[in-house]
Amino acid sequence: MTAITPDIGLRARLRRLAGRTAVLAIALGSCAFVAPSVAVAADQAQTDEQSVELHVSAGLRGIVAPGSSTSAILTVENGSEAALAPGQVEVELSRTPLTDAAAVSTWLDDGEATGDFAPIGADDTESIDAGASATTTIFVSEATLGALAPGVYPLRAELTASSGNDGDENAESVDATATSVVVVSGARTAQVGVLVPITATPEGGALLTTEELSELTGPEGALTAQLDGVAGTTAVLAVDPSIPAAIRVLGTAAPESARDWLTRLDDLPNARFALQFGDADATAQAQAGLPELLQPQSFAPFLDPANFPRVPATVAPTDAPDATPGPTPGATESPEFPTDEELTEIEGALPNIVWPQAPLTPANLTAFAGYLGDDTTTIVSSSTVGGKSAAHATAAGRDLLVTDAAASDVFSQVAAERDPDDRQRLLAEAAALLQLAQRSAPSAPLLIGLERDDDRSSDALRDAISAADSLGFELSTVRATAPVPVTVVGTPDAARSAAVSTLLADETRLDAFSSVLTDPQVLLSPERIRILRTLSVGKSATTFAEGLADHQAQTRATLDAVSIPPSSTIQLLTANADLPIAVRNDLPWPVTVQLFVAPTDPRLEIKSPDQTIVQAESTTRIKVPVSARVGSGEVNLRLSLYSPTGVQIQGDQTLRVAVRAEWETIGLVVLGGIIVLLIALGVIRTVRRKRREAAEASAVEAQIEALEEEEAVEARPDAATTEDTRE
């Protein structure tokens, strides 16, 4: 495990420069290689962001063969708002070598080194517009370099110019300095190998989603970049099994780019081993006293039957010797799911290798052997074994692979650096550390372990590996060498071991809670994977604490997802009624609950309802039959939720019921009176209507009789006249 780089010093400033555009020209001598550096205007050192930056390199990756010429490449970046007038750059070299990693770091970070500097070349610079950059190449002959013995030598460049146009009276002087190193290489006899973790963390879920896989394995994706970076090298791959598992559980629904990525990984000839699922830290689990490493639970909840081939049911073979299972005619087809082992398999992975987080103790090594077997190999940093960088070692009879802490730190920065200029300077430092490490042990193999990083660029990763690993490097060869006895030095990390206990306690609570589900694994399987990811290697103390807090908050939210919402006082206006009690389910799955209701006063009789299914993300009202033995009063009800197996989901909650049962009699009397009144009014209205209708009928009859009489009277004179005529 490599150390976490602190966010201070020049390295941190260099990382903040990532993304700026710069022009880098690399000139090669006959056997020369180079590394650049960055510096800023000295007269603006009081500001956080400098406007003029200088990069210097002398070869490729800072390496120069003895007695060879080289070229110094200087790049000036004008980040100010004013043009930079023509100036001069000068390159100096100290012939006093840097003797150890601390001296290299002090020189590159602080610009402090022993010995005198002598100029090895100078040149004029042209005017540089605001926001532009320019590159100058200075040839350095072998005579100028002189006879330098193999070693690491400080290199410095200085820029002298002025802001504004040439001849401007208001121009201000600008001085900038850059530091780097020149590594005069000797014969390289030691084998150097690079361990590269291949990891990817989902944004919020347990496994990478289809969308995340499409992005990560696309042409510009981070997982594609990691395979591009290791292809053609002898890097040893440490693969998180959760990546192939996330692809395989999707079956035919997996993105084509993801399936191609997995095939490409399988086809790479690089040696490899599997990290723990989710890159969980074995050290924390050992220090928490777990009897075995945590493993994912069933992957069944992630498998969709529609995405896997269906096969007919088979008949069991008979006792006949030539009988074999075969499809049953007319039998129902069922999907053929891969096993959990098939989902997490890393093809060609070396067994029983663990790469935990530091610090660890000798007791932890014994625990690892109990987890994986006596032949377990543990990868540790040289800082864990007192600074010894022997690639193959043994401690308390346990097999170790030891990575060089200082070199691993710098090479990890190289692999993470996207800016080419800044990356070349880091490569120079890396070359210097390799030179010093191999000088102390010329023939001993050296291991470099890159830090966990989900977002490397392919160019940066390839540069880091190419600068370190040796052609023909074989991890098996290193493991076959005689181990060097070392002593593991470390104290248990109380915070991480306590976190393991906390996470497992939360999981136990969720296990009981999951009994409300038809299939508890839909909750428990993702939960276990989230625990493993919370314990993943490479997190700083702050990041780890934040991840633990987030996980605990998510656990609390899950446990509170099924509950009885608070309710105001319920008015009971009758002696017998059904009280509606709301039950909320915020989970994405239906739940089955048993509501228990108990009165605090015998004046109410309660009958608890049967089990109720509450649909996903909804609220259901459960009717509770209630009988009141009192006419009036207030009674408290104790409400609690249980799962079908008797696990309490929510503790007692009080609901106040105001009983107004006498209001039922009063209501009936009032209602009866209203009904009698309405009937009486109806009768009166009917009688009056009948009388009115009778009067109207009599009046009509009288009018008719009067008309008939009038007609009779009028007819009488006519009759007399007729009789007179006859006479």
Q: Where are the domains of the chain?
A: 9-184, 192-296+305-312+336-485, 494-559, 562-661, 676-727
pLDDT at 555: 95
Q: What is the mean pLDDT of the chain?
A: 84
Span 308-324, average pLDDT: 65
Q: Identify the residue with better confidence: 185 or 325.
A: 185
Is it true that 9-184 and 562-661 share their CATH fold?
Answer: yes
pLDDT at 229: 95
Span 428-453, average pLDDT: 87
Lowest-confidence segment of 83-97, 159-173, 598-612, 616-630 by average pLDDT: 159-173
Query: Do 57 and 80 touch, CB atoms closer than 8 A?
Result: no
Report residue 588's pLDDT band, with 50, 70 and 90 as the boundaries: very high
Span 674-682, average pLDDT: 84
Nearest to 368 by CA among 105, 427, 357, 472: 357
Highest mean pLDDT among 93-102, 183-192, 485-494, 495-504: 495-504
Bridge partner list, 179: 156
pLDDT at 166 exceeding the cut of 60: no
Rama region for 65: left / alpha / beta (φ>0; ψ in -120 to 50; rest): beta
pLDDT at 214 exceeding the cut of 70: yes
**Angle ∠(513,535,380) on CA atoms, nearest 5:** 155
Nearest to 194 by CA among 391, 423, 368: 391
- Rounded percentage of the chain residues whose pLDDT exceeds 70: 84
pTM for the whole thing? 0.80
E strand map for 643-708: 648-660
Which helix (H) or strand (E) is 90 found in, with range? strand 87-94
Query: Do 354 and 378 touch, CB atoms closer than 8 A?
Result: yes
CA distance linking residue 687 with residue 683, whole number of Å: 6
**Angle ∠(193,195,197) on CA atoms, nearest 5:** 165
Task: Enter the tokens of residue 562.
Answer: 């099924």
pLDDT at 615: 96
Lowest-confidence segment of 169-173, 286-290, 559-563, 717-721 by average pLDDT: 717-721
pLDDT at 41: 40
Span 446-468, average pLDDT: 93
pLDDT at 723: 53
CATH topology of domain 192-296+305-312+336-485: TIM Barrel (3.20.20)
CA distance linking residue 595 with residue 580, whole number of Å: 12
Nearest to 623 by CA among 601, 636, 606: 606
Q: Does domain 9-184 have CATH number 2.60.40.10?
A: yes
Q: Identify the residue with better confidence: 443 or 480.
A: 480
Q: Identify the residue with better confidence: 179 or 725.
A: 179
Q: Identify the residue with better confidence: 354 or 607.
A: 354
Lowest-confidence segment of 32-46, 330-344, 350-364, 531-545 by average pLDDT: 32-46
Kindly report, residue by residue over 216-231, the tens digit of the pLDDT.
999 999 999 999 999 9
Query: Do 663 and 573 touch, CB atoms closer than 8 A?
Result: yes
Kindly report, residue by residue over 604-632, the tens digit of the pLDDT.
778 888 899 999 999 999 998 887 765 56
Report residue 465's pLDDT band, with 50, 70 and 90 as the boundaries: very high
CA distance linking residue 290 with residue 287, whole number of Å: 8
Span 362-388, average pLDDT: 94
pLDDT at 398 exceeding the cut of 80: yes
Report residue 122's pLDDT band, with 50, 70 and 90 as the boundaries: very high
pLDDT at 18: 37
pLDDT at 3: 36
Query: Exposed, middle or buried: residue 123 (CB in 10 Å: 0-12, 13-18, 19+)?
Result: middle
- Rounded percentage of the chain residues whose pLDDT exceeds 90: 50
CA distance linking residue 404 with residue 391, whole number of Å: 8
Query: Do 391 and 368 touch, CB atoms closer than 8 A?
Result: no
Q: Tell me the chain's radius of gyration from C-alpha atoms.
A: 44
pLDDT at 68: 86
pLDDT at 27 exceeding the cut of 70: no
pLDDT at 517: 96
Span 313-317, average pLDDT: 57
Query: Do 47 and 134 touch, CB atoms closer than 8 A?
Result: no
Q: Residues 562-661: name the CATH superfamily.
A: Subtilisin-like superfamily (2.60.40.1710)
